[in-house]
Chains A and B, each alone.
Chain A
Amino acid sequence: MNWGSVSEFLAMGGYGLYVWSSYAVVLALMVAEPLLARHRFRKALEQAGDVIENEKDD
Chain B
Amino acid sequence: MSRSIRLFTFAAPSRFYALSGFLLPLLWLSAIGFAVAGLYIGFFVAPTDATQGDAYRIIFVHVPAAWMSMILYLVMAGWAVFGWAANARLASMVARALAPTGAMFTFLALWTGAVWGKPTWGTWWVWDARLTSELILLFLYLGFMALVESIDDVRRADHAGALLALVGAINVPIIYFSVKWWNTLHQGATISMTAAPKMAATMLQAMLLMTVAFWAYSFAVVFMRTRAIILERERQAQWVKDLVAKEAK
Contact = CB atoms under 8 A, between A and B. Distances in A.
Contacts of B112: 22, 25-26
Interface in B103-134: 104, 107-108, 111-112, 115-116, 118-119
A13 interface: yes
B227 interface: yes
B232 A47 contact: yes
Contacts of B221: 33-34, 37
Given A14-B53, A41-B224, A45-B231, 20 more contacts: A1-B44, A2-B48, A12-B53, A12-B54, A12-B55, A12-B57, A13-B53, A14-B54, A19-B55, A22-B58, A22-B112, A25-B108, A25-B112, A29-B104, A34-B224, A37-B228, A41-B231, A47-B235, A48-B244, A52-B244
Contact of A15 (B43, B55, B111): B55
Contact of A18 (B47, B118, B232): B118
Contacts of A25: 108, 111-112
A51 B236 contact: yes
Contacts of A1: 44
Interface of A: 1-3, 9, 12-15, 18-19, 21-23, 25-26, 29-30, 33-34, 37-38, 40-41, 43-45, 47-49, 51-52
B224 A18 contact: no
A43 B235 CA distance: 12
A56 to B, nearest CB: 11
A12 B248 CA distance: 52
Contacts of B111: 22, 25
Interface residues of B, number: 43
Interface in B191-249: 217, 220-221, 224-225, 227-229, 231-232, 235-236, 240-241, 243-245, 247-248
Given A33-B104, A45-B244, A52-B241, A13 B228 contact: no
Interface string B13-54: 000000000000000000000000000000110111000011
Contact of B61 (A9, A23, A45, A49): A23
A40 B235 CA distance: 14
B65 interface: yes
A12 B47 CA distance: 12
A19 B55 CA distance: 6
B247 A18 contact: no
B231 A48 contact: yes
Contacts of A12: 53-55, 57
A51 B235 contact: yes
A48 B240 contact: yes
